[in-house]
Amino acid sequence: MLGNGLRRARTARLVRTLAISGTGAGVLALPLIGAGCASAATPATAPAVKTAVTIGYPNTLDGWIRASLAVMAQKHIPGTYNGIYRNVIRESSGNPRAINLWDSNARAGIPSKGLLQVIQPTFTTYHVNGTSWDIYDPVANITAACNYAAHRYGTIDNVHGAY
């Protein structure tokens, strides 16, 4: 019987050899050779997160808005494509990684982020279940911002400036 250290070394060498060969057989061989490391374990199933792609829309500004509208319809959050689009273009020019590092929120240590320039406390408070908790995720950002706008202004359609 091989010692644990020798067994792990041989297993690692075999997996590297198979992976380098480009066959993907290294991953397939792990259960067969008794790899016991965490990387061979099947990850826990995470809850389904609604993104533009998982809802069936392209990973573009148009797709993000349409995906958000689909989630909003399910959650009864008011808003229109035109209202969202107008605010996205004003706030971030359509850049989901936009971050404001110069306004009063930024000076207070909580910069506005994402397509609709939401600060983290607002995103956390108005996050919509089923969307990502990543403030930079386009669908999550739009949906949380529209939820906030609905509570504060009735709908994102009523927002015509910084909010």
DSSP-based three-state secondary structure for 131: strand
Interatomic CA distance for residues 151 and 17, integer angstroms:
58
Q: Which two tokens stand for residue 23?
A: 């066959």
93-143 tens-digit pLDDT: 999 999 999 999 999 999 999 999 999 999 999 999 999 999 999 999 999
Residue labelled with tokens 């792609």: 53
Which of 8-22, 48-62, 99-113, 134-148 has the weakest average pLDDT? 8-22
pTM of the predicted structure, to 2 decimals: 0.71
Write down the pLDDT at residue 66: 97
Write down the pLDDT at residue 31: 41
Q: Which two tokens stand for residue 86?
A: 């107008």
Residue 44 binned pLDDT confidence (cut-offs 50, 70, 90)? low
DSSP states of 22-48: TSSHHHHHHHHHT--SGGGSPPPPPPP
Which conformational region is residue 96 in: left (phi greater than 0), alpha (psi within -120 to 50 degrees), or beta?
A: alpha
C-alpha 134: how far from chain center: 5
Q: What is the mean pLDDT of residues 1-16?
A: 53
Closest alpha carbon to 79 in 94, 91, 67, 93: 67
Which residues make Cβ contacts (< 8 Å) with residue 29, sequence separation at least 6?
Answer: 14, 15, 18
Which of 30-44, 52-66, 97-111, 142-156 has the weakest average pLDDT? 30-44
Q: Which two tokens stand for residue 45?
A: 């199933």
Average pLDDT, the chain: 82
Interatomic CA distance for residues 92 and 69, integer angstroms:
19
Residue 10 binned pLDDT confidence (cut-offs 50, 70, 90)? low
Contact criterion met (CB below 8 Å) for 142 and 64: yes
DSSP-based three-state secondary structure for 163: coil
Write down the pLDDT at residue 48: 75
Q: Is the pLDDT of residue 38 over 90?
A: no
